[in-house]
Amino acid sequence: MAARGRGRGRRLMSFSVEAVGISRGESLPPSILQPTPLFPPMEQKPLPLVGGEEVEYMLALKQEFRGAMRSLPFFIQPDAPHTDVERYSDKYHSSEPADSSLDWKPGEAAVAVSLVKVSLTACFAPQTLEKKEEEVSSGEEEGEEKKKQEEEEAEGEEEYDEEEFEEETDYIMSYFDNGEEFAGDSDDNMDEAIY
Amino acid sequence: MTAQEVRLCGLLLQEHFGDVVEKVGTHLLRNGAQHLRAIVQETGTPMDLVKKSLCVLIQHGACAFSSGRKGPGSPVEYQASFERILRILRYPRYIYTAKTLYGDTGELIIEELLQRGHMTMSSTVKTVADRLTLNMEEGHSMEYSEVSNTFSKLVETHFLQRCPPVEVAGKAVSATPDPATTPGAPANNTTPSTPESFADCYKVPHVTLIGRGKRRNSSEDGEDQRNAKRAKEDPETHGDEGIYWQVNFERFHLHFRDQAIISAVANKLDQTSSEIVRTMLRMSEVTTPPIATCTQALSANEIFRSLPPNYNISRPILDQYLTLLVDDPMEFVGKSGDSGGGMYVVNLHRALANLARATLESVVQERFGSRSARIFRLLLRKRHLEQKQVEDFAMIPAKEAKDMLYTLLSENLVQLQEIPKTPDHAPSRTFYLYTVNQLPTARMLLQNCFKTVANLIERRLFETKESKRLLEKSQRIEAILASLQASGAEPEQLTEVEEMITPPEKQQLESLRHHINKLDSAENQVDETIFLLESYIKAMKRL
């Protein structure tokens, strides 16, 4: 805006020149037509970080905490990508821990009281399901007494998933070879049946 | 919810809970309260993963559910809490504070509770006893009762609190006969109930816990299996089922605030004054509500009696110190009356405001130099000044003062206020005054802090990713070394394995570790500034 006024010779600007401090003959800094640099040079260097025992200890605490969180059941991994065809041995692969804690089935004995009440007042199925989800999730998280048994199971199951799953089958996991290494080698013979 | 806040929360969730929880969490933060189906559709994550993520978030208190807004029949809505997720940055500080106050036992209790979100007292005590036993010498183990004692002490001083029981939407009658529920909670209770609204918030349950910590030794795999099965099939009841505990962050924040005030007094005046202020704060710990502007009035006689015994200063000297504290421009201590030898209060809100102001001034000084800081302080004190007056009061030549003012103006640390003389706001007949508003500037700096921490985390992740190959190699070699040492190998084998890492690689690893430590440490320190600014803004909001 200042440049526009200056070029035309009409010195009408939205703010008074003298008040803000630009005197008549002074040149304004050139206007910049590109975004500011990503790492602009700093005139003042930042202060160094505080050192000391306390700081070191908190640093160690922080890193240990991060490491510990990765090994807890709260660290959720995304689903492994599914292969194109369902294989018989997929049933026996531990692709994800069997979290039957989230398989809440309506009508389970432990959640009888609240669910009975809810099912009486429920309008139709999807809402009932979601209410029950919320019932059980609230029970699981906040520990209401009426769901204590279910939630104890759930807590136990969340933690001991791997072992429980491995107990279920009597076969060694590696026994069930998918056969994918075998099929992957011979890509050109697609008309032959793959066993 | 600003973009910076969402970005920071996303990074924190990703580091601690994984990518899935991060996706669900950031979606909830960006879009407010949502119900389950909407989350599944919009994030494109499978239903069971969404459920798991919501469970994890609720378990850690980062998400709350409530009945839908459209009435009693609508589905449950979930809402993530940005503040709670941000607390993750402060976890090391909480754990360290617990260590200074209650020793190793307290430290481990707080650490376990922070890792797990909500836990019962019995499971906490058992886990902590086991962990402590691991670090003790052979043949010694930790008694459950000792750990329970520390737990009770933490509850008594309100550092731990019970998780509030939940009222479920759509139910006319609350099914739990527990006296801790709020009486008569209506079905569509939209106001969030704080944990403190429950009567039994700080009551330690009667728990029967007799035993000692178990030491895990090399035969632990077989034992684990057996223990796991036993725990599943036969859960030992200790009388406190259903009572979950969480860390009370507000109490820790009060403690940090007190610490900040005491160290500020120590820096500005001297050690004795800070001891006096510490005594005053300690005496009014239980009587002052968290939102109070200042502590309860304490008489000089009481303060004299409660001073720590190794500080044997005489009564007149104490009076002199108190007068000094009252006269100090920082206004930490105020005099509210003359009875009992003088009634004194600690001005909490004013102290916070002064600490925030000092932070702002220090930021300006470090970024723009001491002369710009002088202009900034001048404007803070004198409120509104014209261009000419700034030059005169700051004693800086006109040209440089102009330059500095424009730089500060472009960074939005200083604002321009127009005062028209005529109704048509003609520029030649308007006053233009420079001014600094402390509260909006503090808010802006707080957002800058969030951006800083997010940048630090991203840079750390980037550095780790760059050297991923090298890190993996070093981890493998450490594992090999550990297993060799455990099975008793000769020194030659060990040196052979160690030489698998070449010296330049070792150097690279060393510098990588140094950088990561620096970035981590910087995050912790920016969090201290965040705490100060947040406390100040919250205190001002309540006024």
The CATH number assigned to the domain holding B397 equals 1.10.10.10
Helices A53-71 and B91-116, axial angle in degrees (round to 10): 20
B196 and B289, same domain (yes or no): no
- What pLDDT is stored for residue B113 in this prediction? 93
Chain B residues with CB-CB distance to A59 below 8 A: 92, 517, 520-521, 524
Mean per-residue pLDDT over chain A, rounded: 59
Chosen domain end from B61, B80, B99: B80
| Weakest mean pLDDT among A129-138, B317-326, B331-340, B450-459 | A129-138
Cross-chain residue pair A69–B118, CB shorter than 8 Å: no
CA distance A76 to chain B (A): 6
User: Which pairing describes strands B244-247 and B160-162: parallel, antiparallel, or unpaired?
Assistant: antiparallel
Contact between residue B527 and residue B333 where contact means Cβ atoms under 8 Å apart: no
Structure tokens belonging to residue B365:
């000084």
- What pLDDT is stored for residue B212 in this prediction? 65
- What pLDDT is stored for residue B486 in this prediction? 81
DSSP state of B432: E
Whether B218 has a pLDDT exceeding 50, the answer reads no
- What pLDDT is stored for residue A122 in this prediction? 41
**More confidently predicted of A79 and B429:** B429
Band the pLDDT of B27: cuts 50, 70, 90.
very high
Q: Which of residues 102-121 of A touch B (CB under 8 A)?
A: 102, 113-114, 117-118, 121
Q: What is the ipTM of this complex?
A: 0.82
B360 and B377, same domain (yes or no): yes
Dihedral of alpha carbons B41, B45, B46, B48, sign: negative
B432 and B446, same domain (yes or no): no
B278 and B160, same domain (yes or no): no
CA distance A181 to chain B (A): 26
CA distance A98 to chain B (A): 11
Chosen domain end from B320, B346, B372: B346
| Weakest mean pLDDT among A116-125, B145-154, B174-183 | B174-183
Taking phi over 0 as left and psi of -120 to 50 as alpha, with beta for the rest, B205 belongs to: beta
Band the pLDDT of B536: cuts 50, 70, 90.
very high
Helices B144-156 and B121-135, axial angle in degrees (round to 10): 120
R_g of chain A computed on alpha carbons: 34
- What pLDDT is stored for residue A20 in this prediction? 54
Q: Which of residues 123-162 of A touch B (CB under 8 A)?
A: 123, 126-127, 130-131, 133-135, 137-138, 140-146, 148, 152, 156-157, 160
Q: Could you tell me which chain A residue has the CA closest to the CA of B401?
A: A21
If one counts the domains in chain B, the total is 5
Residue-wise pLDDT tens digits, A81-91: 666 777 777 67
B95 and B237, same domain (yes or no): yes
| Weakest mean pLDDT among A25-29, B151-155, B279-283, B510-514 | A25-29
Query: What is the C-alpha to C-alpha distance for residues B123 and B127, in angstroms, rounded to an integer?
Result: 6
Percent of chain A's residues with pLDDT above 70: 29
Task: Write phi, then psi, for B297 (nearest 5 degrees).
Answer: -70, 130
B29 and B158, same domain (yes or no): no
B360 and B341, same domain (yes or no): no
Which of the listed ranges B73-82, B151-160, B522-531 does the model predict with the highest average pLDDT?
B522-531
Mean per-residue pLDDT over chain B, rounded: 84
Cross-chain residue pair A65–B163, CB shorter than 8 Å: no
Domain with B183 in it:
88-247
Q: Which of B55, B114, B523 sits opposite A140 (nearest CB)?
A: B55
B93 and B218, same domain (yes or no): yes
Q: Could you tell me which chain B residue has the CA closest to the CA of A61?
A: B92
- What pLDDT is stored for residue B195 in this prediction? 62
| Weakest mean pLDDT among B22-26, B60-64, B229-233, B432-436 | B229-233
- What pLDDT is stored for residue A93 in this prediction? 63
Whether B511 has a pLDDT exceeding 90, the answer reads yes
Chain B residues with CB-CB distance to A38 below 8 A: none
Contact between residue B82 and residue B25 where contact means Cβ atoms under 8 Å apart: no
Cross-chain residue pair B243–A143, CB shorter than 8 Å: yes
B106 and B215, same domain (yes or no): yes
Cα dihedral A70→A76→A82→A87 (10° resolution): 80
pTM comes to 0.75
B432 and B324, same domain (yes or no): no
Whether B211 has a pLDDT exceeding 70, the answer reads no
- What pLDDT is stored for residue A148 in this prediction? 40
Burial category of B133 from C-beta neighbours within 10 Å (exposed 0-12, middle 13-18, buried 19 and up): middle
B342 and B432, same domain (yes or no): no
Outline where B411-502 has alpha helix (H).
438-466, 468-486, 491-498
Contact between residue B404 and residue B371 where contact means Cβ atoms under 8 Å apart: yes
Residue-wise pLDDT tens digits, B320-369: 999 999 998 888 999 988 888 889 999 999 999 999 999 999 999 999 99
Contact between residue B245 and residue B118 where contact means Cβ atoms under 8 Å apart: yes
Band the pLDDT of B490: cuts 50, 70, 90.
confident
CA of B206: how far to CAs of B243, B357, B371, B539, in Å? 11, 48, 63, 38
| Weakest mean pLDDT among A181-190, B175-184, B237-246, B362-371 | B175-184
Among B15, B51, B200, the residue to mutate for chain A (most A Cβ within 10 A): B51
Contact between residue B209 and residue B145 where contact means Cβ atoms under 8 Å apart: yes
Q: For residue B401, which of B389, B411, B410 has the smallest C-alpha distance?
A: B389
B473: amino acid identity, one letter: K
Residue-wise pLDDT tens digits, B118-132: 888 888 888 898 888
B184 and B95, same domain (yes or no): yes
Chosen domain end from B33, B55, B80: B80
- What pLDDT is stored for residue B377 in this prediction? 94
Chain A residues with CB-CB distance to B127 below 8 A: none
Q: For residue B351, which of B257, B212, B476 has the smallest C-alpha distance?
A: B257
